[in-house]
Amino acid sequence: MPSFRKPAAQAKHIIKQKLGINTARHTHKENKEPAQQKIHSLGTTRNYTQALTRITKWIQENRLGDLKNLNTETAIQYLELRGQSVSQKMLNQERQAVQLHLGVKLPIIKSELSQTLKSRAYTEKQIEIISKAQTPKYQLATQIAYTAGLRAHELLTLRLQTERSASKHRQWSSNRFIGKEGILYTVIGKGGLIREALIPKALAAQLENLRHSPIIIKDRNIHYQQHYNIGGGKDWSNSFSAACKRTLGWSHGAHGLRHSFAQQRMNELQQRGYFYETALGIVSQLLGHFRPDITEVYLR
């Protein structure tokens, strides 16, 4: 039965069991498993309590029980959502607090906020040059990521829209793909959000030629079910950055492709007569974060 205690009280109760203040640090080395670690400072106690309070509030708001019901899958979902609005430092701190509570190591989640602040868009010509310097497997992934605005790990989750529907708990604009032609697919984004992505017919045909029976792929310690033999995740991201440096002499990272996509789609929508705020809201849905304020960072 879920606890009806306030989030702060639940967090304090959990942290109290993990305190090791006034004990020798060498008895609780940092390289031990999370279940064996202890908290040795008042600052860390405060920060971890605040972190667990935030996740408990989120758990209650989403009717997922209480802090005792938290599992690895739900924790990763929460951290992915948090990564859209907090810095990498804050996200790492929350991950450490949660894994201390769960007693297991969690994969490092990248802050999308940090990525958007650092990344910059590529021109269409630059993307063409970069993709030609990649192997066919990664070349197709680069072209799809650019035309559909996908994250690296989302390439691993591609499915035809006829095989999987977009998340029902979101209000999707009916004008997302206006003026565009292609085949609808779905991908699983941050926080488990499933959204539609439109892939040009020529690229979709290449993708379908690479369809295989579902296999489990591990990327950054997270498992994905993959249905197509194309690049994705860290391997594709590394391939893209290496190709950038070989051809351009520099790299903004694969995340810069989402900047390119956002800027291009904003221009297309505004040319069709959409007001800036309306176009911004549509692009935020296409990017899969429903945060127009974050989308604006992509447009710099």
With contact defined as beta carbons under 8 Å apart, do 3 and 10 qualify?
yes
pLDDT tens for each residue of 172-197: 999 999 999 999 999 999 888 999 99
Residue 220's pLDDT is what?
83
Q: How confident is the model at residue 277 (pLDDT cuts 50, 70, 90)?
A: very high
Asked whether residue 219 is assigned to any structural domain, the reply reads yes
Asked whether residue 1 is assigned to any structural domain, the reply reads no
Q: Which residue has the higher pLDDT, 234 or 220?
A: 234
CATH code of residue 270: 1.10.443.10
Q: Residue for token digits 């997922």?
A: 64
- 128 and 209 together in one domain: yes
pLDDT tens for each residue of 32-59: 555 556 765 777 888 888 888 888 888 8
- The mean per-residue pLDDT over the stretch 68-89 comes to 84
* Structure token digits, residue 278: 């309306």
* Structure token digits, residue 107: 């994969």
Asked whether residue 2 is assigned to any structural domain, the reply reads no
Q: How far apart are CA 73 and CA 83, in angstroms?
A: 15
Q: Which of 1-15, 66-80, 211-225, 235-249 has the lowest mean pLDDT?
A: 1-15
pLDDT tens for each residue of 146-155: 999 999 999 9
Q: How confident is the model at residue 90 (pLDDT cuts 50, 70, 90)?
A: confident
Listed residues 85, 109, 133: the one ending a domain: 109
With contact defined as beta carbons under 8 Å apart, do 98 and 75 qualify?
yes
Task: Say if residue 20's pLDDT is above 90.
Answer: no
- Average per-residue pLDDT in the chain? 87
Q: How far apart are CA 79 and CA 242, in angstroms?
A: 28
CA atoms within 13 A on the CB side of 192: 9
pLDDT tens for each residue of 108-159: 888 876 666 555 899 999 999 999 999 999 999 999 999 999 999 999 999 9
* Structure token digits, residue 189: 């984004």
Asked whether residue 16 is assigned to any structural domain, the reply reads yes
Q: How far apart are CA 128 and CA 39, in angstroms?
A: 51
Q: How far apart are CA 86 and CA 295, in angstroms?
A: 14
Question: What does the H/E/C string look like for 113-164?
Answer: HHHHHHCCCCCHHHHHHHHHCCCHHHHHHHHHHHHHCCCCHHHHHCEECCCC
- 155 and 266 together in one domain: yes
Handedness of CA 134, 140, 144, 145 (dihedral sign): negative
In which domain, by residue range, is 38 found? 7-109
Residue 27's pLDDT is what?
46
* DSSP SS3 for 165: coil
